[in-house]
């Protein structure tokens, strides 16, 4: 049996100890490599990235701000709508037009029995008689004055009475001219007529209802709304920061929930010079053709206004996630020692007021960083 020195024995023991301990040490290294990722990171193997269909793109300058998106409301074109009130006080005895009916200017809408009509024509007849008498007296006093048979005082008094009678006659004529739509069959019946061509949009009166005349000093009520919906306005509320980019003549693209997928095209023909003090928005009026009358007044609309673009460091909207009160993205920041890809969750600041697919980056991202632009929601679930 070979003799082993003390030094050799000690070395042999150390080698044996390493052989025993080495497997344990190897397991410890493996455990460290598979340790959990930090709370702001997700580590995935390449095959997991492929299975999740993550799309990663480098951050780069992009055209941004190509559109301004605003909320809006459909309204009548003011030049093609009339709100019909009654000029006389009385009782409605007959309705001659119904909602949806097409009417021409001057077509009858309703008959109103009113003492105002008889009173107006009675005042006209009295004014005509008074004017005739005053005119004859003025002529007679002038002849006497010219012959020096009458006094200047009587002549001037007759002229003054003649002037008053003429003024009263003019007033009575103007009043009856307002009531010229009254039927000839009855001196107490007024025919309410359509002031424009169009469609009966609304009727707010029934037979037997008492109506207040708009010239009587009471509270008048709109009886009919006559309008033409072949062309409507969409009033868009544009924020102050976007006003400088929206100009008269800009194309308008409007959409409403009633017709998903349909776009109504028109032009912005007016931009308000004032701001709403509560919302700090300004109205932009879009005139839109509406031949099939799909757009109805008071509909809510989303209005897109194409404007000039600018180039800036920008990120796709699809890359953004809302986590609580933060806007975050996932950035690929390298690999782990065992070859897994590291994705860091990072809060960012972007300009979300601009419309379009890309939003300008304002903070926490640099050009060239690799951003998860599709599938980021899966990474947020793993955290």
Class of domain 68-79+228-310: mainly beta
The percent of residues in the chain predicted with pLDDT above 90, rounded, is 53
Domain 41-64+311-382 has CATH 1.20.840.10: no
Burial tier of 125 (Cβ tally within 10 Å: 0-12, 13-18, 19+): exposed
User: Do the Cβ atoms of 236 and 251 come closer than 8 Å?
Assistant: no
pLDDT in tens, 257-294: 999 999 999 999 999 999 999 988 999 999 999 999 99
Residue 9's pLDDT is: 37
Q: Would you say residue 120 has pLDDT above 70?
A: yes
Rounded (10°) CA dihedral 102, 106, 108, 113 = 150
Residue 181's pLDDT is: 52
DSSP string, 118-139: HHHHHHHHHHHHHHHHHHHHHH
Residue 14's pLDDT is: 31
| Confidence grade of residue 216 (pLDDT, cut at 50, 70, 90) | low
Strand 264-271 to 281-289 pairing: antiparallel
What are the residue ranges spanned by the domains of the chain? 41-64+311-382, 68-79+228-310, 83-226
DSSP string, 314-364: EEEGGG-EEETTEEEEEEEEEE-TTSPEEEEEEE-EE-TTS-SSEEEEEES
Residue 355's pLDDT is: 65
Q: In 10 A of CB 309, how many CB atoms?
A: 15
The CATH number of domain 83-226, selected from 2.60.120.200, 1.10.10.10, 2.40.50.100, 1.20.120.430: 2.40.50.100
| Confidence grade of residue 225 (pLDDT, cut at 50, 70, 90) | very high
Tell me which of 201 and 310 has the higher pLDDT: 201
| 100 torsion bin: left (phi>0), alpha (psi -120 to 50), beta (else) | left
- d(CA 339, CA 71) in angstroms, rounded, equals 49
| Confidence grade of residue 20 (pLDDT, cut at 50, 70, 90) | very low
Residue 323's pLDDT is: 87
Q: Which of 111-115, 281-285, 288-292, 341-345 has the lowest mean pLDDT?
A: 111-115
Residue 37's pLDDT is: 62
Q: What is the average per-residue pLDDT within 104-125?
A: 88
Q: How does the average pLDDT of the chain come out, rounded? A: 84
- d(CA 260, CA 222) in angstroms, rounded, equals 34
Model-level pTM? 0.56
């Amino acid at each position: 049996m070979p003799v082993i020195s003390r030094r050799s024995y000690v070395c042999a023991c150390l080698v044996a100890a390493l052989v025993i301990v080495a497997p344990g040490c190897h397991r410890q290294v493996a455990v460290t490599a598979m340790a959990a990722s930090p709370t702001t990171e997700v580590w995935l193997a390449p095959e997991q990235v492929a299975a999740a269909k993550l799309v990663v793109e480098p951050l780069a300058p992009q055209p941004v701000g190509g559109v301004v998106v605003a909320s809006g409301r459909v309204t009548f074109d003011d030049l093609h709508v009339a709100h019909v009130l009654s000029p006389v006080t009385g009782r409605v005895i007959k309705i001659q037009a119904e909602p949806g009916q097409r009417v021409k200017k001057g077509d009858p809408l309703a008959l109103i029995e009113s003492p105002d009509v008889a009173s107006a024509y009675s005042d006209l007849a009295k004014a005509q008689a008074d004017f005739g008498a005053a005119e004859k007296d003025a002529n007679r006093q002038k002849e006497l004055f010219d012959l020096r048979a009458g006094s200047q005082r009587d002549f001037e008094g007759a002229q003054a009475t003649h002037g008053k009678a003429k003024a009263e006659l003019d007033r009575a004529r103007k009043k009856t001219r307002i009531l010229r739509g009254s039927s000839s069959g009855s001196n107490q019946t007024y025919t309410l007529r359509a002031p424009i061509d169009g469609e009966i949009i609304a009727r707010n009166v029934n037979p037997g209802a008492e109506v207040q005349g708009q010239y009587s000093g009471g509270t008048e009520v709109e009886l009919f709304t006559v309008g033409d919906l072949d062309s409507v306005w969409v009033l868009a509320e544009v924020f102050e920061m976007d006003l400088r980019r929206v100009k008269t003549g800009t194309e308008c693209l409007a959409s409403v929930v009633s017709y998903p997928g349909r776009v109504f095209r028109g032009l912005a023909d007016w931009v308000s010079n004032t701001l709403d003090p509560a919302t700090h928005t300004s109205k932009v009026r879009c005139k839109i053709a509406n031949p099939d009358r799909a757009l109805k007044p008071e509909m809510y609309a989303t209005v897109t206004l194409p404007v000039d673009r600018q180039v800036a460091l920008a990120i796709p909207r699809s890359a953004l996630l809302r986590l609580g009160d933060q806007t975050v993205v996932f950035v690929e920041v390298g690999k782990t020692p065992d070859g897994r890809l590291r994705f860091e969750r990072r809060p960012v600041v972007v300009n979300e007021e601009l419309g379009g697919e890309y939003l300008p980056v304002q903070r926490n991202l640099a050009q060239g960083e690799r951003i998860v632009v599709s599938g980021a929601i899966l990474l947020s679930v793993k955290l």
